[in-house]
Chain A
């Protein structure tokens, strides 16, 4: 799997090593010198990273699979209850609908903006894929929202979405003769408002990935199409769109994964409200674990989230492979 350098194995016959080593060979080295030292040093080099992964990734994953089966309401001691946490999650008359809603909200947030997100990003990337003055400047500007922290961005957008007439968005609506909205306090508009902010924030990243994809398409394809008399529209649908397929799919999967993990914007802007309409899976998990301190139930939620993310990440890895090889 690993493409190592094409040098001879230390344990290989002497003919291989003379290539690098013109000096006459010394008498046979000990096993330790030839083999053990390299393995030992290698593992020594891996040790610091491994310790961190072991304690803060591998152990927590296993531990969380254990906690799922316990009722663990801090500060009380854990009690083994078998699959009751999952039963509660899927069948409890009060909590199951709340959990279902959080799953729905997560997917609403993750998928709701995708078509618009893709269209805007691709359009901008197409515009930027030219050698004219100002491309670099615009690329820099469009990337600003991505590097600004979600908390800072959320505070600004809370102010933009302010429900009064003097809120920026409402004042624009009033100017256009439309009625003002309460945005983040409106159960039907809160999630679309978060999605719109998400598109604004993630656009710069998508544009850069699309741009890289566009530049991987050989220009001779376009030249050949031009000779055959193809117009701009035909060239887009017959060359750009199919060849950009893997890139588009990659951006889609990455957007969905990142959206499913989103937390800060909900915590800053809506606290999961109004009427639980912006309580996503991660936010629900946070409420269970760190507001009511029900660690077992929250771990069951985490297990469901883990399964979802694992499937998506697996797809992403598959796509990364094809994205790299397609040209």
Chain B
């Protein structure tokens, strides 16, 4: 559907020979530096506050660099709520959902990309139509269904509804269609079945697409909020996002040093992870238009 988008400049590099270009480059750097500082400011403010003592937090004018460094905010935050458990829940759920989606999407994408069967167009349209239905709309019936099944407040409620993805199927189908048919014919002649061909040939050849798909699934699930909020009631099943909300909500909003420390350790792992994989993430978004 889309051609591969290269996130590089269309204009060719030039040497900064003329003074006008040099002046422009300086302006360019100043402007972008200012923009970068504005974008980063909430993060810097978060980290700065997380290291301050109570007194310094409530003084005017506020300081950017703490006069005294209070690292114990982090210890206090970690001990004030079961954040270890929240981390485990978020990680466990996101990993199950990501792995499950890759399996179901690969199978369905293979069928749509490389097989001929009756009702293919109908099935494909049906699958794609699920992207038009957002979770907010099916929230109530899904909740009532899980209630009937007795799945409320279990890991089942957090994982099973997300084990398929129409976007994932669509994207993987695009990738699977690029594998030459001759390869499959040759494999078939050697007695290789479809499933084995999928696992041993197609999946290794489409690793970049699988990786970006996994990334979207993982990030989307890790950051989700509304669904885990309504289907979990007991504390030990809360995900990190829900746990952070309750932690900040219950204290009456005064211990900002501890709150910011908790927010730092909730957000920093994702930020670090993003720095590691940002290239494929950004290219994946430019390619598909899906937000994580």
Contact = CB atoms under 8 A, between A and B. Distances in A.
Interface in B9-36: 9-13, 25, 28-29, 31-32, 35-36
B43 A144 contact: yes
B45 A305 contact: no
Nearest to B43: A144
A119 interface: no
Interface in A50-75: 50-53, 55-61, 63-64, 67
Contacts of B57: 166
Contacts of B281: 143, 147
Q: How many residues of A sit at the interface, in one of the four size bands?
A: 35 or more
**From A64, A156, A261, residue with most partner B Cβ within 10 Å:** A156
Interface in B101-142: 103-105, 107-108, 110-118, 120-121, 123-127, 130-134, 136-142
B155 interface: no
Given A48-B103, A166-B62, A261 B136 contact: yes
Interface in B139-187: 139-145, 160-161, 163-164, 166, 169, 177, 181-182, 185
A139 B32 CA distance: 10
Contacts of A30: none
A161 to B, nearest CB: 11
A134 B29 contact: yes
The dominant DSSP class at the B interface is: helix
B289 interface: yes
A15 interface: no
Given A61-B138, A130-B28, A143 B10 contact: no
Given A156-B260, A205-B291, A212-B286, A141 B39 contact: yes
Interface in B24-72: 25, 28-29, 31-32, 35-36, 39-40, 42-43, 45-46, 49, 57-62
B110 to A, nearest CB: 6
B146 to A, nearest CB: 9
B192 interface: no
Interface stretch (A84-92, A108-116, A187-195, A306-314): A306-314
A62 B199 CA distance: 36
B244 A286 contact: no
Given A261-B134, A264-B226, A175 B61 contact: yes
A155 B271 contact: no
Given A148-B270, A302-B140, 13 more contacts: A2-B112, A2-B121, A23-B189, A43-B111, A49-B108, A50-B108, A53-B127, A55-B161, A56-B161, A63-B144, A209-B289, A250-B289, A309-B136
Interface of A: 1-5, 7, 9-10, 20-21, 23, 38-39, 41-43, 45-46, 48-53, 55-61, 63-64, 67, 124, 127-132, 134-135, 137-153, 155-160, 162, 164-166, 168, 171, 174-175, 200, 203, 205, 208-209, 211-212, 214-217, 219, 250, 254, 258, 261, 263-264, 267-268, 282, 285-286, 289-290, 295, 298-299, 302, 305-306, 309-310, 313-314, 317, 320, 324
Listed from nearest, the 9 A-B pairs whose CB atoms lie closest are A52-B164, A60-B138, A60-B141, A131-B9, A63-B141, A45-B111, A42-B117, A49-B164, A39-B117
